[in-house]
Each structure stands twice: as C-alpha cells, then as structure tokens.
Amino acid sequence: MTKKLTRSEDNKMIGGVCAGFGDYFNIDYTLVRLIFVAIGLITVMFPMLVFYVVAWIVIPVGEKAPPPTKKK
C-alpha cells in the first residue's frame, strides 16, 4: 500500500501541515515544526509562509483517529 501525504486533524496547531509531514516521514511532528520555524526565520518568513498556505490548501485532510475506548 502506498503512503499518502495528508494533513493531520489530530495533532494540528494551525492547519496540520507539519504534523502531516511528520506522519508521512515517520518523525516527531514537533521536530518538523521546529525545523519549519528555523527555516522560516532564516529566510525572513515570507517563503515559508507562502509554502505553508499553499500546502494547507493542496494537501487533503487525513482521517481522524477513533476515540479511545474505555477499559474497566
């Protein structure tokens, strides 16, 4: 089965783009967010802001994880 890049509904801060990339590459989404912010600061934010907005529009939303079941 092919992996599909989707935005995360469960771990999103704004649009779920960074969490989606973290899920896709199987790395911690907090690390992806830190890398995104670091690159944004280095490039004076504008290119990364444009990339994020375009990714937010283009990448589809993934399925929500089912709620945890209660165990007795």
Domain positions in the chain are: 1-61
Residue 26 CA to residue 36 CA, distance in Å, equals 16
AA identity, residue 25? F
How confident is the model at residue 26, as a pLDDT?
Answer: 92
Query: What are 61's strand-pairing partners?
Result: 7
How confident is the model at residue 72, as a pLDDT?
Answer: 61
How confident is the model at residue 21, as a pLDDT?
Answer: 92
Residue 37 CA to residue 34 CA, distance in Å, equals 5
Which residue has tokens 């649009």?
15
Q: Return per-residue pLDDT of the chain as tens, 72 residues.
A: 788 888 988 888 888 899 999 999 999 999 999 998 998 888 888 888 899 899 999 999 887 766 677 776
How confident is the model at residue 14, as a pLDDT?
Answer: 87
**What ranges in the chain are assigned the alpha helix state H?**
17-25, 29-42, 46-58
Residue 38 CA to residue 58 CA, distance in Å, equals 23
